[in-house]
Structure 1
Amino acid sequence: MGGRVTKDNSAKLAVLIDADNSSAKKIPLILQEVAKYGVASVKRVYGDWSSENLKNWRDVLLPHAITPVQQFAYTSGKDATDMMLIINAMDLLYSKALDGFCIVSSDSDFTPLASRIRESGLVVYGFGEKSKTPEAFINACDKFIYIENLEDINKTDTSIQLITSTNNDNNQVVNPTQVTEVKNFEKLQLDSVSTQLTIDSATLQLIYKAIKDTADDDGWAYLGNLGKYLVMLKPDFDVRTFGCNKLSELLEKLGLFTFQRRGSQIFVRKKASFSKFLKAVQDTIIAKYGINQWVYLNPLAIEINKSYPNLDVSEYDCKSIYQALLKIESKYFEFSDDKRKLQLLQSKNS
């Protein structure tokens, strides 16, 4: 199981909590998240319970059946709590009764522990605060979940309504020939379709790489595999960081990808650059009509189709070449007032 993140509700997990580096208020949300990946067979929280700093934990332990583990601070400046957690984790590891561990802490001291558990073939889920958790600990886990994202998912979002089709059976036989383009993926309704999500360049490049690495010969990547691969590349990748609940929702909001349904499975690939289409239009006009000559769109569309029979305008959210022509917004082309004719301007080649 090491290195692979799966949602197996039967997996036996140990939830080990560093009370000194975690918030008691967030434990219910963390346990809800843990339930997505398996059963919390072991739930322990470590700290010096004689300290007044941990008194707010007492109301959390009993209702969630979490076992407190006492560890006195023998020497000032030495974190005995971390040592006890690590020792207990190794004991549980050697018992071979578990499928994985959930380490709740923002402390880098658990980086070697996470690496050691993964070396033994078990999965490691990390939970911590985004601003406090070092990158080394994040990358040592199979999947890392920011606690801030767990807060966001419980807030009511009235700006987005996701209606998922209920007539898809996960067990149905997929017919490879049953392929349809999906413009509005899973009927995703947004207040403003033209509003695109803002995302950092590094994450966007990560998505591009994941699609490229998992795609078939035609550039289509299966959405289910894509999500798993993204987490393998970046353990803290989480669509909730960007205000989304599903990977499909994130990709749809970005407006940079096109979707394809094959039976009950969804595939995605990067939209082709519109500049390729502009080049096809330019070359066709030069070859058939000439520069600064008005050309009716219908005949032009026919000529483009003849010259470029494999041109797929669905990648531009268009159903026809004619529709794609109407989307041209280049300074090198000019439309007639009635939008029925188009001409290529001389400056295109100057």
Structure 2
Amino acid sequence: MPPATPESRPHVNLAVLIDADNAAPAIVEGLFEEIARYGVASVKRIYGDWTQPNLGGWKKVLLDHSIQPMQQFAYTHGKNATDSALIIDAMDLLYTGRFDGFCLVSSDSDFTRLASRLREEGLTVYGFGERKTPKPFVSACDKFIYTELLRADAHPADETSADATEAPAKPTRGTKKDKGEPTAKAEPVKEDTKRDAKASPVPIRLITKVIDDVSDDDGWASLASVGQNLTKLRPDFDPRLYGFSKLSALMKAQPRIESRQSNKHIEVRVRQR
């Protein structure tokens, strides 16, 4: 099941399960704004040992966002009983058959198998975690959003992801022939680029490969299809990582890609060299 979008599935029921030990309270505002793009947070639970002082920051925001705290005592030092409680609840919620997807908020790889199991049942899994989240957990989700993008006090574009970036492609000798084609840059794109000047390099080779894979005989591909396939290949792909608020703005800023409006939909293709 591909990740739901506001246009395709506006009434998706989601269960939001937060690992308080591996998530910061500063992400709450952005977290639920992001979740609202994919569906309705019907269940909102957060797990941790609330007798411990390190979770004090969470206590201040639980009431404001109607998040239900789930108490789990740490029986033994060094053992994370919170993870087990979250996993058990996730399976209980799964078997109710009331949910279309789950939002797992944690940077802990221990939830990798849980994400895989939920997807085996045909549910969509959205992962939320820091850039340090292990790759197996990221790949186990349908869509993974880095929580640094959700914080108002952080600038994730300043960080570099070694396994998710590539250097921008250099112009080829055939590029000059494209001067008469549609303009690659628009005013909104300039604003995005200026706002996140230190953004990670765009993975242009991955993008052009996906366009080639889903394009028609003339090389044109629906932007929506390109976006869906990018997420399938790389669940953590997000235009915001590269300094753009939307995928369309990212595409228009790439010299190797041209775009056009077709029947109220945007199409893109790789420029002929």
TM-score, normalised to structure 1, is 0.65
**2:75 maps to 1:70:** no
Aligned mates of 2:232, 2:153 — CA distance in 1: 22
Q: Secondary structure at the match of 1:75?
A: coil
1:55 is displaced (CA, Å) by 1.2
- Residue type matched to 2:271 in 1? K
Q: Secondary structure at the match of 2:272?
A: coil
Matched with 2:118 is 117
1:187 is displaced (CA, Å) by 5.8
Q: Structure 1 residues 49-58 or 85-94, which shifts more? A: 49-58
Deviations 1:130-153 (A, max 9, x none): 1x2000000000000011122369
Matched with 2:207 is 207
Alpha-carbon contact 1:185-1:259 (below 8 Å) kept: no
Matched with 2:139 is 139
- Residue type matched to 1:266 in 2? I
Larger radius of gyration: 1
Aligned mates of 1:154, 1:197 — CA distance in 2: 13
- Structure 2: tracts of 5 or more residues without a match: 156-180
**2:256 maps to 1:256:** yes
Matched with 1:231 is 231
Matched with 1:326 is none
1:183 is displaced (CA, Å) by 2.5
What number of residue pairs does the alignment pair up? 243
Deviations 1:25-79 (A, max 9, x none): 1112101100000000000000000001111111110010000000000111111
1:6 is displaced (CA, Å) by 2.9
Relative contact order: is structure 1 or structure 2 higher (C-alpha 8 Å, sep ≥ 6)?
2
Matched with 1:324 is none
Change (3 A) 1:152 1:221: farther
1:197 is displaced (CA, Å) by 9.2
Change (3 A) 1:153 1:124: farther
TM-score, normalised to structure 2, is 0.83
Deviations 1:222-269 (A, max 9, x none): 111111111111000000001101111111222221112222121111
Q: Secondary structure at the match of 1:190?
A: helix
Change (3 A) 1:204 1:267: same
Matched with 1:348 is none
Change (3 A) 1:189 1:74: closer
Map 1:124-203 to 2 at 5 A.
124-130=125-131, 132-151=132-151, 182-183=182-183, 188=188, 190=190, 200=201, 203=203
Q: Secondary structure at the match of 1:53?
A: helix
Change (3 A) 1:153 1:97: farther
**2:239 maps to 1:242:** no
Alpha-carbon contact 1:3-1:118 (below 8 Å) kept: no
Alpha-carbon contact 1:11-1:39 (below 8 Å) kept: yes
- Residue type matched to 2:212 in 1? K
Q: CA RMSD for the aligned pairs?
A: 2.4
Change (3 A) 1:206 1:188: same
- Residue type matched to 2:37 in 1? K
Alpha-carbon contact 1:5-1:142 (below 8 Å) kept: no
Q: Secondary structure at the match of 2:208?
A: helix
Q: Secondary structure at the match of 2:92?
A: helix
1:272 is displaced (CA, Å) by 1.5
- Structure 1: tracts of 5 or more residues without a match: 156-180, 274-350
Change (3 A) 1:256 1:184: closer
Q: Secondary structure at the match of 1:133?
A: coil
Matched with 2:16 is 15
- Residue type matched to 1:138 in 2? V
Q: Secondary structure at the match of 1:95?
A: coil
Matched with 1:25 is 26
Alpha-carbon contact 2:74-2:82 (below 8 Å) kept: yes
Q: Secondary structure at the match of 1:205?
A: helix
1:199 is displaced (CA, Å) by 5.5
